[in-house]
Amino acid sequence: MKKKEEDFMREAIRLSRESVKNGGGPFGAVIVKDGKIIAAASNKVTQENDPTAHAEVSAIREASKKLKTFNLSGCEIYTSCEPCPMCFGAVYWARLDKLFFANTKQDAKAIGFDDSFIYEEIDLPHKNRKIPNIQILRDEALVAFTDWEKKEDKKEY
Which residues have a catalytic role annotated?
Answer: 56
3-state secondary structure string across the chain: CCHHHHHHHHHHHHHHHHHHHCCCCCCEEEEEECCEEEEEEECCHHHHCCCCCCHHHHHHHHHHHHHCCCCCCCEEEEEEECCCHHHHHHHHHCCCCEEEEEECHHHHHHCCCCCHHHHHHHHCCHHHCCCCCCCCCHHHHHHHHHHHHHCCCCCCC
Q: Which amino acid does the sequence have at 5?
A: E
